[in-house]
Chain A
Amino acid sequence: GAVVSQHPSWVICKSGTSVKIECRSLDFQATTMFWYRQFPKQSLMLMATSNEGSKATYEQGVEKDKFLINHASLTLSTLTVTSAHPEDSSFYICSASNSLAPSSYEQYFGPGTRLTVT
């Protein structure tokens, strides 16, 4: 149980275009989803937290107009990188948790999406 998928697993796009990454919880209801990015040999940096049906809460320094997050259902959240630039190239990982479950502190991670902006 507690499987989270991400699509696509990797994507290459040109500067100025937008890219959408999907995160799905396959076998549980994800009341909360988190989006992280990871640079090579660095830690996971939380970008934003989203609750189903609510606006996402962004971490300090993350541009909410650039990284659009939608959490329209209990099984799907999307991250759209708008007007992508080469510095947006990174590994993006989502996670999901069920805040109503006894183990609500546990987050289950997707496999990640490698974004390369040329």
Chain B
Amino acid sequence: DQQVKQNSPSLSVQEGRISILNCDYTNSMFDYFLWYKKYPAEGPTFLISISSIKDKNEDGRFTVFLNKSAKHLSLHIVPSQPGDSAVYFCAASVVGGATNKLIFGTGTLLAVQP
């Protein structure tokens, strides 16, 4: 049962254009969402996060949008750069308990063409 889904396994965009990565979730108890960037054979790097009480969070070229009613979030990268080429994972945090466990999506491979 995949609680966090990224339906696009890959995305290709031109340098300078906008990259939009999408993520859907099924568990309405998730209260915190994060985006990570990952290169092959490396650990994920934290990019940006958003609390369920917000619908938008912006950090430089990265903006995350959250639509709670649709259980959907997206990551916008503007402008896209070749160095942004990597696999992007969205993750959601499970409410409750002593630890903040993350549930990861399946990832989207972004390729930014020069």
Contact = CB atoms under 8 A, between A and B. Distances in A.
B32 A105 contact: yes
Name the residue in A42, A107, A112 with the highest tally of chain B Cβ atoms < 10 Å from its Cβ. Answer: A107
A43 B105 contact: yes
Contacts of A114: 41
Contacts, number: 63
A78 B11 CA distance: 36
Interface stretch (A12-20, A79-87, A90-98): A90-98
SS class, residues of chain A in contact with chain B: strand
Interface residues of A, number: 27
Counting chain B residues whose Cβ lies within 8 A of the other chain, the interface size class is 20 to 34
Contact of B43 (A46, A95, A99, A104): A95
B99 A112 contact: no
Contacts of B103: 46
Nearest to A31: B99
Contacts of B99: 32, 34, 49, 51, 57, 97, 99
- Which 4 residue pairs across A and B have the least CB separation, nearest first? A109-B43, A105-B32, A43-B106, A44-B104
Given A44-B44, A105-B93, A109-B44, 19 more contacts: A6-B43, A32-B99, A42-B106, A43-B104, A43-B107, A44-B104, A46-B101, A46-B104, A49-B101, A91-B41, A97-B99, A97-B100, A99-B99, A105-B34, A105-B49, A106-B46, A107-B46, A111-B42, A112-B41
23 contacts: A32-B100, A34-B101, A43-B89, A43-B106, A44-B44, A46-B104, A51-B98, A91-B41, A93-B43, A93-B44, A95-B44, A97-B99, A99-B100, A105-B49, A105-B93, A105-B100, A106-B46, A107-B100, A109-B43, A109-B46, A111-B43, A112-B41, A114-B41
